[in-house]
């Protein structure tokens, strides 16, 4: 969830300070607990900004990557993780990225309408199934060559800061917890996950309100 388009899409939030002092995590982290309202606000701002910019970057090719949504990728990362992490089995990318046409259209429209495979706004944004140890081990391809065919979609660590990794793991941990509570759930949206956790984690109320309006 390099950033090449910050000048094209202005973030709805001001830049949040990076927490470079956070240690890198090598083991599977537990469900993060936000204990400070200040930290919660930073998480909300940075999470949305990072999601939108990274999704926008992944849609800058001439082809809108529909082929990537229809065909599973080839595993090319670290072999120490479960081989299914990049196999595509059980993973749907339907509406897990913001529609480029919708995002850049001043009227917030897209010619595909309801048939579009991309999300028209945060309210439609789906979370994708990831390995529980998402972003806990380094990508071998990226370490060896400095590049990876999956880019921001890669489940392994590239050059993200510890703070960015913490936010990405937080999103994944919330999704994993939601799926444990609702094992039959399909096409889980960010909106559904936030509504599930806001009663017990009111620090996400601001994020929920923003998603509901967008």
pLDDT tens-digit map of 176-213: 899 899 998 888 898 999 899 989 888 888 888 888 88
Give the mean model confidence (pLDDT) for residues 8-25. 46
At residue 133, the pLDDT reads: 85
**pLDDT at 25 > cutoff 70:** no
pLDDT over 90 for what percent of the chain?
13
Distance CA 12, CA 6 (A): 12
The verdict on pTM exceeding 0.75 is: no
Beta partners for residue 157, in sequence order: 138
Tally Cβ neighbours within 10 Å of residue 108. 13
**pLDDT at 8 > cutoff 80:** no
At residue 47, the pLDDT reads: 57
**pLDDT at 106 > cutoff 80:** yes
Q: What is the pLDDT of residues 135-150, one digit of tens each?
A: 999 999 999 999 999 8
Distance CA 66, CA 39 (A): 36
Give the pair of three-digit tokens for residue 149.
Answer: 């065919």
Q: What is the pLDDT of residues 50-66, one digit of tens each?
A: 554 454 444 444 334 43
Report which of 106, 123, 109, 112 is spatially closest to residue 48, judged by C-alpha positions: 123
At residue 196, the pLDDT reads: 92
At residue 13, the pLDDT reads: 43
Tally Cβ neighbours within 10 Å of residue 176. 17
Mean pLDDT of the chain: 69
Distance in angstroms between the alpha carbons of the first and the last residue of the chain: 18
Cα–Cα–Cα angle for 111, 152, 159, nearest 5°?
A: 155
At residue 142, the pLDDT reads: 94
Give the three-state DSSP class for 119. Answer: strand
pLDDT over 70 for what percent of the chain?
57
């Amino acid at each position: 969830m390099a950033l090449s388009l910050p000048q094209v899409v202005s973030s709805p939030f001001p830049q949040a300070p990076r927490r470079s002092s956070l240690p890198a995590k090598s083991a599977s982290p537990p469900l993060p607990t936000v204990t400070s309202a200040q930290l919660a606000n930073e998480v909300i701002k940075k999470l949305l900004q990072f999601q939108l910019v990274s999704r926008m970057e992944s849609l800058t090719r001439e082809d809108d990557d529909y082929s990537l949504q229809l065909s599973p990728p080839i595993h090319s990362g670290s072999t120490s993780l479960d081989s299914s992490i990049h196999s595509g089995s059980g993973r749907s990318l339907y509406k897990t990225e913001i529609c480029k046409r919708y995002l850049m259209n001043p009227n917030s429209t897209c010619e595909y309408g309801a048939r579009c495979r991309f999300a028209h706004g945060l309210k439609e944004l789906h979370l994708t199934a990831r390995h529980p140890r998402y972003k806990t081990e380094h990508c071998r391809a990226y370490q060896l060559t400095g590049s990876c065919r999956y880019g921001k979609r890669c489940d392994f660590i590239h050059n993200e800061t510890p703070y960015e990794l913490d936010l990405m793991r937080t999103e994944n941990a919330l999704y994993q917890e939601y799926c444990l509570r609702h094992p039959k759930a399909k096409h889980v949206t960010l909106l559904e996950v936030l509504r599930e956790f806001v009663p017990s984690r009111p620090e996400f109320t601001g994020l929920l309100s923003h998603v509901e309006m967008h």
